[in-house]
Amino acid sequence: MFIWVCIWSGYINKGEVTAEHPEKGLIFREVQNLHNNVFLASVLYPALLLWYIEIHSLAFGKPAGVQNVPDFCLLALWFIFGVLFPLLFYCTKHITEVRKDGIYIRLAPLNPSFKKIPIYVIEECKIQAYEPFNEKDCMDKTPSKRANFVVTLKLITGKRVVISSKNPKELHQAIMSAVANF
């Protein structure tokens, strides 16, 4: 199932914006690959270490640091951290869609279905600078170099939803057009 989802997700547009399709009501679609260097290092370091341990164990016997670890545990660790986590990291994509009836967000393949934000619950939509590590808006001051431009939705319940996008202006325009047509 997991590998099928990874193969299926390869057929999705790679970060492009699609035009409106009248049969589906799709106004905007963006697929973001989550390949970040910090996450890449945190996934690849244990993977490469476990690949080294497994290859060394097969060719020369167990390395010095893992003499007391059973072979089954090493194989399970290698399979989880050396194969599954890098594959999951490679296949993970953030999908944002704006349709006529709502905003759909999905982190594939971790979420099996889209999370829907209905259009009628959106009170305000704006683009603003956002610092992800501080979780602060840059409304009062000039944004730092680490700040990203995001689309912020204020819902009628008072909750605030922050949607990251490579094209925040186009996402904002699509949301505003969906709100205007609702």
Whether residues 158 and 108 fall in one domain: yes
Q: Which domain holds residue 105?
A: 2-34+92-181
DSSP per residue, the chain: -HHHHHHHHTTS-SSPPPPPBTTTTEEEEEEEE---HHHHHHHHHHHHHHHHHHHHHHHH---GGGTTS-HHHHHHHIIIIIIIHHHHHHH-EEEEEEETTEEEEEEETTSSS-EEEEGGGEEEEEEEEEETTTTEE-SSS---TT-EEEEEEEETTS-EEEEE-S-HHHHHHHHHHHHHH-
Whether residues 172 and 119 fall in one domain: yes
Total domains present in the chain:
2
pTM of this structure: 0.72
pLDDT along the chain (182 residues), means of 10: 35 42 73 82 89 88 81 89 89 90 90 89 88 60 66 90 89 90 80
Per-residue pLDDT at 23: 43
Query: pLDDT for 31-72, tens place per residue?
Result: 988 777 787 888 889 999 999 988 888 888 888 777 788 888
Query: pLDDT for 22-33, tens place per residue?
Result: 447 888 899 988
